[in-house]
Chains A and B, each alone.
Chain A
Amino acid sequence: MAYVAIADRDHEIEHHDPTTFITKYVWSQDHKVIAIQYGVTALFVGLIALILSGMMRLQLGFPNSFSFITPIEYYQFITMHGMIMVIFLLTALFLGGFGNYLIPLMIGARDMVFPYMNMVSYWLYLVSVIILLSSFFVTGGPTGAGWTLYPPQAILPGTPGTDWGIVLMLGSLAVFIVAFTMGGLNYVTTILQARARGMTLMRMPLSLWGIFVATILGLLAFPALFVSAVMMTLDKVAGTSFFMPAIMSMGETLSHEGGSPILFQHLFWFFGHPEVYIVALPAFGLVSDLLSTHARRNIFGYRMMVWAILAIGGLSFIVWAHHMYVSGMNPYFGFFFATTTLIIAVPTAIKVYNWVLTLWKGDIHLNTPMLFAIGFIFTFTHGGLTGIFLGNVVVDLPLSDTYFVVAHFHMVMGVSPILVVFGSIYHWYPKITGKMYNETLGKVHFWLTFLGTYAIYLPMHYLGFLGVPRRYFAMGDTEFIPESAFVLNQSITISALFVGVVQLLFLYNIIVSLKKGKPAGPNPWRATTLEWQTPDTPPKHGNWGDNLPVVHRWAYDYSVPGYHEDFIPQNVSPDEAPVTEEHGPDT
Chain B
Amino acid sequence: MTITLVLLAIIMATVIGWLLRQSLSSEPWNANDPVENEPGRGVLNIDPAKIGLLSFLAVATSLFALFMSAYMMRMNLGDWRPLTEPNLLWANTAVLVLASFAFQLTRNAATREQLSTVKIGLVAGGLFTTLFLLGQLVAWQQLNAAGYYMTSNPANAFFYLLTALHGLHLLGGMWVWGRTTIRVLSGADVRSVRLSVELCTVYWHYLLLVWIGLFGLLLST
By a beta-carbon cutoff of 8 Å, the part of chain A in contact with chain B is 2-3, 5-8, 113-114, 181, 184-186, 188-190, 192-195, 197-198, 200-203, 216, 219-221, 223-224, 226-227, 230-231, 234, 238-242, 255, 257-260, 263, 266-267, 270, 298, 302-303, 306-307, 310, 313-314, 317-318, 552-554, 556-557, 574, 579, 583-585
Contact = CB atoms under 8 A, between A and B. Distances in A.
B70 interface: yes
Interface in B132-157: 150-151, 154, 157
A558 B74 CA distance: 56
Nearest to A198: B37
Contacts of A194: 48
Contacts of A579: 31
B29 A554 contact: yes
Nearest to A570: B31
A415 B40 CA distance: 40
A263 B154 CA distance: 13
B10 to A, nearest CB: 11
* Residue of B1, B28, B45 with most partner-chain A CB within 10 A: B28
Given A258-B77, A267-B70, A584-B29, A240 B5 contact: no
Nearest to A266: B1
A298 B28 CA distance: 11
Contacts of A298: 29
* Residue of B12, B37, B55 with most partner-chain A CB within 10 A: B55
B161 interface: yes
21 contacts: A5-B40, A6-B48, A189-B48, A192-B44, A203-B28, A203-B36, A219-B58, A219-B62, A220-B58, A223-B59, A227-B70, A240-B150, A258-B77, A259-B77, A260-B77, A303-B23, A307-B23, A313-B12, A317-B5, A584-B29, A585-B27
Given A2-B45, A185-B55, A554-B29, 9 more contacts: A3-B47, A8-B40, A181-B56, A202-B22, A220-B11, A241-B154, A266-B73, A553-B31, A585-B29
B120 interface: no
A578 B74 CA distance: 66
A189 B52 CA distance: 6
B93 interface: no
A5 B74 contact: no
Contacts of B1: 266, 270
Given A219-B55, A255-B151, A317 B48 contact: no
Contact of A267 (B26, B66, B77): B66
Interface string B90-132: 0000000000000000000000000000000000000000000
A223 B63 contact: yes
Query: Range of interface residues on chain B?
Result: 35 or more
A528 to B, nearest CB: 11
Interface string B72-86: 011001111000000
B79 A257 contact: yes
B176 to A, nearest CB: 13
Contacts of B161: 230-231, 234
A164 to B, nearest CB: 21
Q: Which 3 A-B pairs have the closest CB atoms?
A: A258-B79, A223-B63, A553-B31
A220 B154 contact: no
A111 B32 CA distance: 29
B193 interface: no
A117 B37 CA distance: 33
B16 interface: yes
A223 to B, nearest CB: 4
A286 to B, nearest CB: 19
Interface of B: 1, 4-5, 8, 11-12, 15-16, 19-20, 22-23, 26-29, 31-32, 36-37, 39-48, 51-52, 55-56, 58-59, 62-63, 66-67, 70, 73-74, 77-80, 150-151, 154, 157, 161
Given A195-B43, A298-B29, A303-B23, A270 B51 contact: no
Nearest to A216: B15
* Residue of B8, B32, B63 with most partner-chain A CB within 10 A: B63
Nearest to B38: A200
Contacts of A224: 62, 66
A258 B151 CA distance: 12
Contacts of B16: 310, 313-314
A553 B174 CA distance: 45
B28 A113 contact: no
B52 A113 contact: yes
A242 B151 CA distance: 10
Contacts of B31: 552-554, 557, 574, 579
A179 to B, nearest CB: 13
Nearest to A556: B29
B188 to A, nearest CB: 17
B79 A113 contact: no
B42 A318 contact: no
Contacts of A200: 22, 26, 28, 36, 41-42
Nearest to B77: A258
* Residue of B29, B67, B154 with most partner-chain A CB within 10 A: B29
A260 B55 contact: no
Contacts of A302: 28-29
A273 to B, nearest CB: 13
B62 A223 contact: yes
Contacts of A307: 20, 23
Contacts of A181: 56, 59
Nearest to B59: A219
A2 B43 CA distance: 13
Contacts of B26: 200, 202, 303
B29 to A, nearest CB: 4
B22 to A, nearest CB: 5
Nearest to A215: B55
Given A195-B43, A200-B42, A310 B151 contact: no
Nearest to B67: A227
B36 to A, nearest CB: 5
Contacts of A585: 27, 29
Nearest to B44: A192
B12 A314 contact: yes
A584 B29 CA distance: 7
Contacts of B36: 200, 202-203, 554
A317 B12 contact: yes
A231 B70 contact: yes
Nearest to A202: B28
Contacts of A189: 48, 51-52, 55
Contact of B43 (A192, A234, A270, A554): A192
A242 B23 contact: no
